[in-house]
Amino acid sequence: MAIREIITVPDKILRGKARKVTSFGVELQTLIDDMVETMRVAPGVGLAAPQVNVPLRAIVVEFNESEDEETPPKLYMVVNPKITRFSSDQDIGTEGCLSIPRIVGDVERPISVTVKGFNRHGQPLKIKASGWLARIFQHEVDHLDGVLFVDRADKVWQIEGETTQIAPAD
């Protein structure tokens, strides 16, 4: 496993549409392992392959829905993820992104989703997520379509450091 560089705005890969994964071989396994390690070191709760300069439809998410600190967070590795169901109820939450350092924003998103895709070995999976986990999945799947949270945000602000230039959507 290796820690990969996280690509930041205004790099054009963040605005492109990622390609569907067609091979579940060694290269994909290495990519997923590297993404998990990179996400954890960053630290973050999610990472999409384009954020490490690989235009493929793969995401990793690690989040602890339990308030019990003894419970370890659950790790999700989803290849070719697709959100197939969105709740009609929505909520506003403050999001940030490893690819847009020091910028956060308020984003309205559905409070629950169903995600379908494949695990790292090509077996189908289905995840029902709500709350922050649903928000994380939506944020990461957006990355695969070249959408950044700032595109959806009602309000964006800097939290510290220098101003970051945000690339416009294509």
The CATH number given to whatever domain includes residue 107 is 3.90.45.10
Q: Which domain holds residue 125?
A: 12-158
When pLDDT is averaged across residues 17-27 and rounded to a whole number, the result is: 97
Residue 87 lies in a domain: yes
pLDDT digit string, tens, across residues 92-127 = 999 999 999 999 999 999 999 999 999 999 999 999
**Domains in the chain, number:** 1
Residue 122 has, within 13 A of its CA and on its CB side, a CA count of 7
Helices (H), 42-130: none
Residue 140 lies in a domain: yes
Would you state the pLDDT for residue 167?
46
Residue 1 lies in a domain: no
Residue 164 has pLDDT above 60, yes or no: no
Catalytic residues: 140
Largest interatomic CA distance in the chain: 44
Residue 166 has pLDDT above 60, yes or no: no
